[in-house]
Structure 1
Amino acid sequence: MILRQPSSLLLCCLLVGVFVTFSNASQGDRLDEFKECVNVCKRENCAPGKTTEIPFLHMLLLWDCPAECDYTCQHIITNQRVANSQHIVQFHGKWPFYRLLGMQEPVSVLFSIFNFIAHQRGLHKLKAYIPPEYSMRKYYLIFSYCGMASWAFSIIFHTRDFALTEQLDYFAAGGSVLYGLYYAAVRIFRLDKLGSRKESVLRAWTSLCIILYCLHVGYLKTYKWNYSYNIAANVVLGVIQNMMWSVFSFNKYRASGMVWAMWPGFVVAWIMLAMGLEILDFPPFWGYFDAHSLWHLGTVGPTMLWYNFLVKDAQDDIAGQRFKA
């Protein structure tokens, strides 16, 4: 399954990127009235010898005078457009959100925290209900750590959008997608089982995934920061693992008749419905709740369900191994 969680959750969040244009420039940036507002603000408040008091929390999050002018002018222009019955536009690729405690997108930060907690609770569940001797346990634990790391970088990015925080967010999400494919192959094809042939295949598969990730990051960092390529790469990996888990889930349900075996399908359906929020992007309600933040909220439930599936699948696998013994 997908993005920053079950590989399917990771996929769909990135799949949305196919429908969304990423850009450092937006319609709002090109408005003459916005440019003039920023220039006037900087001239009156940020010129040498001018003293502009910036709240302490804002300074901690690296808001400086020009950034404060940019933020203030975004809302001045937005209020003017609303008063004139004109549509709200984006600035620097983002809607004009209201800050909270210096955070640029406080609701996305909050819902990213929810997802982080979902992975953290999932980690505790894996440790509590899957015995240490189960061969897939270590792969599932790493999945939890990848999920927590990915959402931690999402929290940082939505708190303050810089080139560095954006790149860390993308690299963490991309790593989670690739790891989702990695452990899906290990579980489905039972590469975790001991045996000289499978051990060789596992080593080759592990090496291939590490090399692919290094090449991916190296290309984006040293050659070109290419949004289209980044999205395409993650979507391809996500689609592959989605198909793998879907076939695995169907076959397991057909063999066992257990409803929980179909949970991966429920997760995918849930995410596909939530994905409509991103496709139907809209300005934030009350200056805080936009489609992207609600998308983050929509991934919390599927994450918890996915961990339940991993535990059930592990317990069923262990019971089957004992029965055969």
Structure 2
Amino acid sequence: MQNMESLLVHCIFFALLINCSISSSGDYSPYYQRCFEKCSLLNCTDDGLGFKNYEQPTILYYTRWACEDECRYNCMWKTVDAFHERKWRTPQFHGKWPFIRFMGMQEPASVIFSILNGIIHLKMICTYRKEVRPDSPLTWLWHSFFVVSIHAWFWSAVFHFRDFLLTEILDYACAFSMVLMNCYVMMIRLLRNKVPRFALVGLTMSFIAFLVSHVGYLSLGRIDYGYNMELNVIVGTFTAICWFGWCIYNRSRQRYVWKCAIFVALTGIVMLLEVIDRPPFFYVFDYHSLWHLSTAPLVVLIYSFAIDDSKYLRKKEMESSENKKIKLP
């Protein structure tokens, strides 16, 4: 029995080892390694940044494509062709699928769709400001939601434009800030008028401290992708369960809560696109970029809920104020 368990453990270990080894089979291949070594030797200066006999296009210079970066990019496509000639699957390079570069952008579709999300956030906050009075309850909360979201989508666009360690950390950190902000909005909305104000201040400080500690952890050396993903899933799932429970409880009194419920449900469904790891269509559209595209219309839904909810809260406050005036002697 123990021998069987030991065999099973070893099989799992080697399966994981094989999976890890082929995850970047392109840049590990001898063909790619020889191509990169030859390209660097013939074209690049000793530091790998400058070119010996080549005048780089202006757009690539300003988007910081160094000589070795150019060699990696060109050798990547040569390796892809070599793999396909042998009827092998499209390989990954440095943990990523090959993408066609456009105007210096490494992943143009993800850049454009990230910008699209930011534009829709901007358009919807303008709609919110037009339809909701500034003295309505929780207007500060939805404006904070907008600031965090627009900041996250900005760094998402920057990271997909050019992948550096700094832009990667900022992208992961800001993406988590958006997940955490959704949780914060949910808790403030559910606990409003149910706990003392100082408790909400303490809750706010706790969320900020948690975000800072998470960003600090991500910034220490190599990014812990597994931990970051698990934390996003845990916080997102907790937020979804709480929102669903609140929507079900208030469905008869606040008819508009279906918008929130649908937003949460669709957000969870489109997240499944992140699980699919396949070569990009036409080397432009991968499932991650399609996830960015699918989140864009959901922005309209959550702001529509925010507008209806703010109007509802203002109406309730006005009714409460009128009732107090009537009761006065």
TM-score tier, shorter chain, comes to 0.7 to 0.9
Do residues 111 (structure 1) and 113 (structure 2) align? Answer: yes
2:249 to 248, 251, 259: 251
| TM-score normalised per structure 2 | 0.85
Distance 1:198 1:50 in 2: 67
Distance verdict in 2 for CA 1:208–1:22, change over 3 Å: farther
Return the offset for 1:303. 1.1
Residue matched to 1:12: none
Do residues 265 (structure 1) and 267 (structure 2) align? Answer: no
In the alignment, residue 187 of structure 2 is paired with which amino acid? A
For residues 56-205 of structure 1, the aligned pairs below 5 Å read 56-190=58-192, 198-205=196-203
Deviations 1:164-212 (A, max 9, x none): 0001111111222222222211111105x8xxx6111112111211221
Structure number with greater Rg is 2
- In structure 1, runs of 5+ residues without a counterpart are 1-20
Residue matched to 1:53: 55
Distance 1:22 1:73 in 2: 22
In the alignment, residue 230 of structure 1 is paired with which amino acid? N
Return the offset for 1:83. 2.9
Greater relative contact order (CA < 8 Å, ≥ 6 in sequence): 1
Distance 1:102 1:222 in 2: 29
* Superposition misfits of 4+ residues, deviation over 6 angstroms: none
Return the offset for 1:288. 0.5
In the alignment, residue 119 of structure 1 is paired with which amino acid? H
Count of aligned pairs between the two proteins: 298
Distance 2:20 2:126 in 1: 36
In the alignment, residue 245 of structure 2 is paired with which amino acid? V
Deviations 1:133-156 (A, max 9, x none): 113001100100111000000000
1:239 to 232, 237, 240: 237
SS at match of 2:251: helix
In the alignment, residue 297 of structure 1 is paired with which amino acid? L
- Alignment RMSD (CA, Å): 2.0
Residue matched to 2:303: 307
Distance 1:224 1:285 in 2: 30
Do residues 218 (structure 1) and 229 (structure 2) align? Answer: no
Distance 2:265 2:200 in 1: 31
Residue matched to 1:297: 293
Deviations 1:229-286 (A, max 9, x none): 2222222221111111111111221334x2x311122123323332332222221111
- In structure 2, runs of 5+ residues without a counterpart are 1-18, 323-329
Residue matched to 1:274: 270
8 Å Cα contact 1:186/1:202 also seen in 2: yes
8 Å Cα contact 1:122/1:144 also seen in 2: no
8 Å Cα contact 2:43/2:53 also seen in 1: yes
In the alignment, residue 78 of structure 2 is paired with which amino acid? I
Residue matched to 2:316: 320
The 10-residue stretch of structure 1 (295-304 or 118-127) with the greater mean CA deviation from structure 2: 118-127
2:284 to 277, 285, 288: 288
Distance 1:223 1:296 in 2: 27
The 10-residue stretch of structure 1 (287-296 or 148-157) with the greater mean CA deviation from structure 2: 287-296
Percent of pairs identical after alignment? 33
8 Å Cα contact 2:169/2:223 also seen in 1: no
Residue matched to 1:3: none
Return the offset for 1:223. 6.8
Return the offset for 1:47. 4.1
Distance 1:163 1:317 in 2: 44
| TM-score normalised per structure 1 | 0.86
Distance 1:268 1:210 in 2: 23
8 Å Cα contact 1:22/1:93 also seen in 2: no
